[in-house]
Structure 1
Amino acid sequence: MKSNEYLDEIREMNLAYLLLAQRLLNADREEAMFRLKVDDVMADFLASLGAQQLSKLANTNQLLCCLGHAGIEPLRQVVDNPREQGLSHFHSSLLMASRPLSTEEGDSRVE
């Protein structure tokens, strides 16, 4: 029974992620592409999806979003950040933004 609950949660997470991605892209495309780590092709695809397509894409047993880092070091630096609270948000943003966008054809990923 737990497995079905996890699948339901994955589907809900996927739908929430896709809806958020669309809202971000509609509000400020360049900023959204930066935050989502997607290229123009993926941004166009995500923005063009209708409600039925979003639902169909979300209805999978795999998470569509993933941690956008090749290694744990940037995440560890965010977690273990000794900076004072006023600068920690800025420092975390810099660390999280450091992963380059993959623009190779066929390597576009929703992240």
Structure 2
Amino acid sequence: MTEIELMSEIRDANLNYLMLAQQLIRADKATAIFRLGISSEIADLLEGLSNMQLVKLSSANVMLARFRFDDSAILGMLTNYTKDRSQAHLHAAILMSGQVTEAIG
């Protein structure tokens, strides 16, 4: 994959993420804040962005979405737990909900 193709993929991923985030926020802000792992201030900012602003923001040369956790145990629960998958996902969600949301500054 060339550098140009890579940047195009990042831009597309960013735009898809931003559009989904905005849609979730507009549908149910409290649930979106939990699911996206963002602060209410960031949710307010994303909710108010115009389509032009979304496109401009998506053109950043970095991924805007990132993993919400740095704990390999949570990742392991989501990917490798074989006993009861639904309980593993629930347990991981509970652990992630206890993490502090990050503010982009």
Q: C-alpha deviations, 1:17-58, integer Å up to 9, x for none? A: 000000000000000001111111101100000011000000
What is the CA-CA distance between 1:86 and the residue it aligns to? 4.7
Letter in 2 for 1:2: T
State the Cα distance separating 1:61 from its structure 2 match. 1.0
Counterpart of 2:58 in structure 1 is 58
Q: How does 1:67-106 map to 2 (within 5 A)?
A: 67-102=67-102
Shift of residue 78 of structure 1?
A: 1.7
Consecutive unaligned residues in structure 2, runs of 5 or more: none
8 Å CA contact 1:11–1:60 kept in 2: the answer is yes
Shift in alpha-carbon separation, 1:83–1:93, aligned structure 2, 3 A = farther
CA distance in 1, matches of 2:86, 2:40: 34
Q: What CA distance in whole angstroms lies between the structure 2 residues aligned with 1:23 and 1:17? A: 10
Question: Does the 8 Å CA contact 1:18/1:58 hold for their aligned counterparts?
Answer: yes
TM-score, structure 1 length as denominator?
A: 0.82
Q: Is the 8 A contact 2:77 2:88 kept in 1?
A: no
Structure 1 residues 14 and 86: alpha-carbon distance in aligned structure 2, compared to 1, 3 A threshold: closer
Match of 1:105 in 2: none
| Deviation digits for residues 55-100 of structure 1 (CA, Å, limit 9, x no counterpart) | 0000111000000112322111221212234534433433443433
Q: How does 1:16-55 map to 2 (within 5 A)?
A: 16-55=16-55
Instruction: Identify if the C-alpha distance between structure 1 residues 87 and 20 changes in structure 2 by more than 3 Å, giving closer, same or farther.
Output: same
Stretches of structure 1 that go unaligned for 5 or more consecutive residues are: 103-107
C-alpha RMSD of the superposition: 1.8
Instruction: Kindly tell me the number of residue pairs found equivalent between the two proteins.
Output: 104
* Identity fraction in percent: 33
CA distance in structure 1 between the partners assigned to 2:74 and 2:90 by the alignment? 14
